[in-house]
Structure 1
Amino acid sequence: MGNKDKSSHKWIHPNGVKFLIIALLVLGVFFRFVNLDKKVYWGDEVFTSLRIAGYTLTEATQELFNNKPKTLAELHQYQQPRPDKGITDTIKSLAAEDSQHPPLYYIIAHYWEKLFGSELAVKRSLPALISLLAFPGIYFLCWELFNSPMVGWVAVTIVAVSPFHVLYAQEVREYSLWTVTILLSSWLLLRAMRLNTKFSWIIYAASLPLLLYTYLFSILIAIGQAIYVFVSEGWRWHKKQIAFLFASSFGLLTFTPWLWIVVNSLSSIQSTTSQFAEKVDLRSLLQIWSFNLSRVFIDLDSQGKVVNFGNPIAVVIRVAVILSIAILVGYSIYFICDRTPKRVWLFILTLMGVTGLALILPDLIVGGIRSGVPRYLVPCYLGIQLAVAYTIFMMCYAEIFPHTSYGNTGFDSGGIFSLGINSKKFSHLWRSIALAMLSVGVLSCTISSQAESWWNKYGSYYNPEVARIINQHKSPLVISSGYVPRVLSLSYFLQPEVKIQFIPQANISQIPPGFTEVFLYRPSAEKLKYRRWQQLNYKIETVYRSPPIYDYLEPISRHSDIWIWKLTKRS
Structure 2
Amino acid sequence: MRHLKFAPSWLRFLIIFLLAMGILFRFFNLDGKVYWHDETYTSLRISGYTINEAKQQLFNNRVIGGENFAQFQGANPEKSLNDTIMSLAKENSQHPPLYYVIARLWMEIFGNSVTAIRSLSACISLLVFPCVYWLCRELFNVPLSVPGVAIALMAISPIHLVYAQEAQEYILWLVTILLSSASLLQAMRLESEDKDQLAKKRQPPDLFAIWSIYAVTLAISLYTFIWSGFVAVAHGIYVMIAAKFQLTETVRTYLIASLVGFLAFMPWLTIVFGEFFNFLISAGKTTTQSSLMPIFPFLMMQLSRIFFDIDLSLNNPIGYFITPFFLTLVGYSIYFICRKTNYKVWFFIITLIVVPALPLILPSLIAGGIEASTEPYFIPSYLGIQVTVAYLLATQLYNGSVSRRSIWHIIIALVIICGLISSKVSSQSETWWNKGISYDNPQVAQIINQTTRPLLISDALGNNFGNVFSLSYLLEPKVRFLLVNNQKIPKIPDGFTDVFLLNPSDIWREKIEKKYKLKTDIVSSENYYSVWKLAKSPKLRQRNISPKNKLSAS
Same fold (TM over 0.5): yes
- 1:508 is displaced (CA, Å) by 2.8
Q: Secondary structure at the match of 1:190?
A: helix
Q: Secondary structure at the match of 1:564?
A: strand
The one-letter code of the counterpart of 1:350 is T
Count of residues paired in the alignment? 515
The equivalent of 1:419 in structure 2 is none
1:48-447 alignment to 2 at 5 Å? 48-148=42-142, 149-196=144-191, 197-266=207-276, 284-301=294-311, 304-305=313-314, 308=316, 315=317, 317-370=318-371, 373-398=374-399, 416=400, 423-447=401-425
Task: Verify the 8 A CA contact 1:99 1:265 in the aligned structure 2.
Answer: yes
- 1:366 is displaced (CA, Å) by 4.7
Matches of 1:367 and 1:356, distance apart in 2: 16
1:236-294 C-alpha deviation (Å, 9 max, x unpaired): 22221121111111101001111111112225678778766x666xxx21111111111
- Per mean C-alpha deviation after superposition, the further-off stretch among 28-37 and 534-543 is 534-543
If the length of structure 2 is used for normalisation, what is the TM-score? 0.88
The one-letter code of the counterpart of 1:163 is P
The equivalent of 1:311 in structure 2 is none
- 1:567 is displaced (CA, Å) by 4.2
Q: Secondary structure at the match of 1:70?
A: strand
Query: Relative to structure 1, is the Cα distance of residues 23 and 268 closer, same or farther in structure 2, using a 3 angstrom cutoff?
Result: farther
The equivalent of 2:8 in structure 1 is 13
- 1:532 is displaced (CA, Å) by 4.2
- 1:531 is displaced (CA, Å) by 6.7
Task: Verify the 8 A CA contact 2:188 2:250 in the aligned structure 1.
Answer: yes
Matches of 1:166 and 1:217, distance apart in 2: 21
Are 1:511 and 2:492 an aligned pair? yes
Q: Secondary structure at the match of 1:436?
A: helix
Query: Relative to structure 1, is the Cα distance of residues 365 and 533 closer, same or farther in structure 2, using a 3 angstrom cutoff?
Result: closer
Are 1:529 and 2:509 an aligned pair? yes
Task: Verify the 8 A CA contact 2:456 2:502 in the aligned structure 1.
Answer: yes
Task: Verify the 8 A CA contact 1:54 1:91 in the aligned structure 2.
Answer: yes
Task: Verify the 8 A CA contact 2:64 2:482 in the aligned structure 1.
Answer: yes
- Per mean C-alpha deviation after superposition, the further-off stretch among 103-112 and 51-60 is 51-60
Query: Relative to structure 1, is the Cα distance of residues 467 and 356 closer, same or farther in structure 2, using a 3 angstrom cutoff?
Result: same
The equivalent of 2:524 in structure 1 is 544
Query: Relative to structure 1, is the Cα distance of residues 244 and 274 closer, same or farther in structure 2, using a 3 angstrom cutoff?
Result: farther
The equivalent of 2:446 in structure 1 is 468
The equivalent of 2:551 in structure 1 is none
Q: Secondary structure at the match of 2:456?
A: strand
- 1:475 is displaced (CA, Å) by 3.0
Q: Secondary structure at the match of 1:512?
A: coil
- Per mean C-alpha deviation after superposition, the further-off stretch among 106-115 and 236-245 is 236-245
If the length of structure 1 is used for normalisation, what is the TM-score? 0.86
Task: Verify the 8 A CA contact 2:61 2:490 in the aligned structure 1.
Answer: no
- 1:140 is displaced (CA, Å) by 1.1
The one-letter code of the counterpart of 1:384 is I
Matches of 1:96 and 1:37, distance apart in 2: 30
Q: Secondary structure at the match of 1:172?
A: coil
Q: Secondary structure at the match of 1:542?
A: strand
Matches of 2:496 and 2:247, distance apart in 1: 76
Task: Verify the 8 A CA contact 1:545 1:562 in the aligned structure 2.
Answer: yes
Query: Relative to structure 1, is the Cα distance of residues 214 and 255 closer, same or farther in structure 2, using a 3 angstrom cutoff?
Result: same
Matches of 2:61 and 2:371, distance apart in 1: 38
Matches of 2:175 and 2:279, distance apart in 1: 25
- 1:107 is displaced (CA, Å) by 0.5
Matches of 1:425 and 1:372, distance apart in 2: 44
The equivalent of 2:456 in structure 1 is 478
1:57-88 C-alpha deviation (Å, 9 max, x unpaired): 12211221221111111112110122121111
Q: Secondary structure at the match of 2:34?
A: coil
The root-mean-square deviation of aligned C-alpha atoms, in Å, is 2.2
The one-letter code of the counterpart of 2:531 is W
- 1:146 is displaced (CA, Å) by 0.5
- 1:519 is displaced (CA, Å) by 1.6
Q: Secondary structure at the match of 1:479?
A: strand
Query: Relative to structure 1, is the Cα distance of residues 507 and 235 closer, same or farther in structure 2, using a 3 angstrom cutoff?
Result: closer
Matches of 1:273 and 1:392, distance apart in 2: 45
Q: Which runs of 5+ in 1 are unaligned?
A: 309-314, 399-415, 417-422, 549-559
Query: Relative to structure 1, is the Cα distance of residues 98 and 368 closer, same or farther in structure 2, using a 3 angstrom cutoff?
Result: farther
Q: Secondary structure at the match of 1:457?
A: helix
Matches of 2:243 and 2:42, distance apart in 1: 41
Query: Relative to structure 1, is the Cα distance of residues 361 and 269 closer, same or farther in structure 2, using a 3 angstrom cutoff?
Result: farther
Q: Which runs of 5+ in 2 are unaligned?
A: 192-206, 547-554
Residue identity (%): 44
Task: Verify the 8 A CA contact 1:356 1:371 in the aligned structure 2.
Answer: no
Task: Verify the 8 A CA contact 2:357 2:381 in the aligned structure 1.
Answer: yes
Query: Relative to structure 1, is the Cα distance of residues 279 and 124 closer, same or farther in structure 2, using a 3 angstrom cutoff?
Result: closer
1:495-506 alignment to 2 at 5 Å? 495-506=476-487
Matches of 2:21 and 2:532, distance apart in 1: 39
Matches of 1:193 and 1:135, distance apart in 2: 22
1:93-143 C-alpha deviation (Å, 9 max, x unpaired): 111111111110000001111111001100100011101111111111101
Matches of 1:207 and 1:140, distance apart in 2: 14
The one-letter code of the counterpart of 2:437 is G
